[in-house]
Structure 1
Amino acid sequence: MTGPGVNGPVVVGLDGSPASVTAAWWAARTAVDRGLPLLLLHSWTTRPLGAPIAQEALSKQRYGGEVLERMEAELLHRHDDLKVTTELVSVPASKALVDLGDRAAMLVLGSREHGSIASFFLGSVNLYVLGLARCPVVAVRPEATDDDAERYEIVVGVQEAGAASDPLLEFGFTAAEAQGARVRAVRALPLSSLVTHPRGTHRDDGYEVDEQARLAAAVAPWRERFPTVAVTYQVARGTAAQVLLTASAHSALTVVGRRRHPAPLSWKLGPVAHAALHHVPCPVAVVPHD
């Protein structure tokens, strides 16, 4: 991968909650697959939902140090060849993670349970990081398990060729190569095309073929760069969110994009990223692009 954090660490925000623990498991496996170091970050000023205000005789700093120590020991027990460092900070987790995004290969966050009412609200820390980090950010649900490693497909949403899709394809192909997975490149065709290219007509057949060719052309440079990665293409009518959700039902990772924004107050996630984060059962990578 290119960019400022290409050889940087995989950084995971850890607050002691089940969601962040699962995120740390996923981040550690990813770091090992890619030969990257892992950085566990805890902000003692940011507390998990439902945690007691006081930890009996322990200070917040002591609690944070123990969270990091326990997680480091568990991950090293799981992965002998993992390189782990920890960082206990006093600034808010959102700021610390965004700052680390300038040199990280990716940031990994714990998300909320799939399908729960609370899952609609991703949390202020996660939304801030997802919207502003300069590197890819992966949201991992707490119900994710090691069984996800048996899913051999990385889904990448590709609506445009060039600057808008290349960072997503680069991230997807890099992940696929590391995991021995294949890439499924997905493009949604607008429902309005049913008017100009109705189903079952010769014009529709030509339109589908043309769109498949456009998708293949966008992916071609990355197939050449990653010759060992198998690729499948999926072109379907519907909204981009609907098509992506259908394609991601059995994927190991889904990759979506968001535009970079010049100022902290101007950022926002698009509807496709929101839909994926709310509803896709596997980890979701949000990759910034120009």
Structure 2
Amino acid sequence: MPNPIIVGIDGSAHAWRALDRAAEHAARHRLPLRLVLGAHFLMNGGSIPDDVLGHLTAEREDLLDEARQYALEVQPRLDVDTALVPGDAGHALVKESERAALIVVGSRGLGGFQGLLFGSVGLYVAAHARCPVLVVPRAAPFPPETPDEMVLGVAGRPGEEHLIEWAFAEAASRGARILALHAVGVDFAAPRTRLVEDMELSAALAGMRERHPDVPVDQLVSDRTAAQALVEASAHAALVVVGARRRHGAAGMALGRVNHAVLHHAACPVVVVPPRD
């Protein structure tokens, strides 16, 4: 059985937005959809009375069933299952990521402090999941209203092949074009400098262009910082795709300042792709 698309369910508006995206993605890729709700009360080791435990469990199972019925209404051919799992939402989703094709979460930040739009659960999942994580911000338009362009952030580091491969395969499934963006964050002292950066970007994309000749690709080498360039490009994109580096000697990814800024401020959904193990 193929690895499923996992979406976190908690009854909030941001989770329903994530469910819309997850159902669309699962249907387009012909993958099963799994709805996961983390229940911390299931870890209390008998300290909750049975009647209260039963009520809490039934309440959350009803929520999962409601979400499942909704997913089947919008995508009737989906294979959908649900899971009420012990633990908080972040740890539950990271555990599920070990056998997932994609994790989908909604942004939950309050949005009132310096424009931050992303919550702690989403950050934890993006930093620790073993598969790509799709983050859906509040203002993101819903398909089919989305543009037909994806933005791919290419940092020029070793090990970005999996990131580029994921982005090209996703663009092919959407019939979208790719804007491959490499930002250097400094003014170009000479035209030759921009030319060299553009040639290196072309070299990084060459193999995927050959494998996906039907995916149109535009290249942009920007003198903006990576965070500025990606956030600005997100205003006209269906998706921004960025990579993360594995931390040395520690669990999880090093999201870095750029990914944090993009996750907090992007106008469209963002996918964080971890390196291949």
Report the TM range for the smaller structure's normalisation.
Answer: 0.7 to 0.9
Deviations 1:240-268 (A, max 9, x none): 11111122211101011211135656754
1:245 to 206, 215, 231: 231
- Aligned position for 1:200: none
Residue identity matched to 2:91: K
Q: Alpha carbon RMSD of aligned pairs, Å?
A: 2.4
Deviations 1:142-196 (A, max 9, x none): 3333256431111110011541x212212211211111111110001231x54xx
Q: Where do 1:190-209 residues align within 5 Å?
A: 190-191=185-186, 193-194=187-188, 197=189, 204-209=190-195
- Aligned position for 1:285: 271
SS at match of 1:8: coil
1:65 to 55, 61, 67: 61
Q: Is the 8 A contact 1:43 1:64 kept in 2?
A: no
Residue identity matched to 1:98: V
Residue identity matched to 1:130: A
2:221 to 217, 232, 235: 235
SS at match of 1:289: coil
Residue identity matched to 2:7: V
Is 1:269 the counterpart of 2:255? The answer is yes
1:95 to 91, 113, 133: 91
Q: Is the 8 A contact 1:109 1:140 kept in 2?
A: yes
Q: Is the 8 A contact 2:152 2:164 kept in 1?
A: yes
| Stretches of structure 1 lacking an aligned partner (at least 5 in a row) | 47-55, 198-203
Q: Where do 1:110-259 residues align within 5 Å?
A: 110-112=106-108, 115-117=111-113, 120=116, 122-147=118-143, 149-160=145-156, 162-163=158-159, 165-191=160-186, 193-194=187-188, 197=189, 204-259=190-245
Report the CA distance shift for 1:263/1:126 in structure 2 as closer, same or farther (over 3 A): farther
- Whole-angstrom CA distance in 1 between matches of 2:64 and 2:153: 35
Report the number of matched residues. Answer: 266
Q: Is the 8 A contact 2:105 2:122 kept in 1?
A: yes
Residue identity matched to 1:238: R
- Whole-angstrom CA distance in 1 between matches of 2:63 and 2:115: 24
| Stretches of structure 2 lacking an aligned partner (at least 5 in a row) | 42-51
Q: Where do 1:20-59 residues align within 5 Å?
A: 20-45=15-40, 59=55
Is 1:81 the counterpart of 2:77? The answer is yes
2:12 to 7, 17, 23: 17
SS at match of 1:42: strand
Residue identity matched to 2:126: L
- Aligned position for 1:49: none
Report the CA distance shift for 1:71/1:118 in structure 2 as closer, same or farther (over 3 A): farther
Deviation of residue 114 (structure 1)?
8.6
Q: Is the 8 A contact 1:132 1:260 kept in 2?
A: no
Deviations 1:43-74 (A, max 9, x none): 2328xxxxxxxxx9972211211111111111
Report the CA distance shift for 1:118/1:125 in structure 2 as closer, same or farther (over 3 A): farther
- Give the TM-score normalised by structure 2: 0.87
Report the CA distance shift for 1:272/1:168 in structure 2 as closer, same or farther (over 3 A): same
Residue identity matched to 2:140: A
Q: Is the 8 A contact 1:112 1:119 kept in 2?
A: no
Residue identity matched to 2:26: A
Q: Is the 8 A contact 2:141 2:268 kept in 1?
A: no
Deviation of residue 113 (structure 1)?
6.3
SS at match of 2:99: coil
Overall identity of the aligned pairs, in %: 38
- Give the TM-score normalised by structure 1: 0.84
SS at match of 1:184: strand
Q: Is the 8 A contact 2:244 2:253 kept in 1?
A: no
Deviation of residue 229 (structure 1)?
0.9
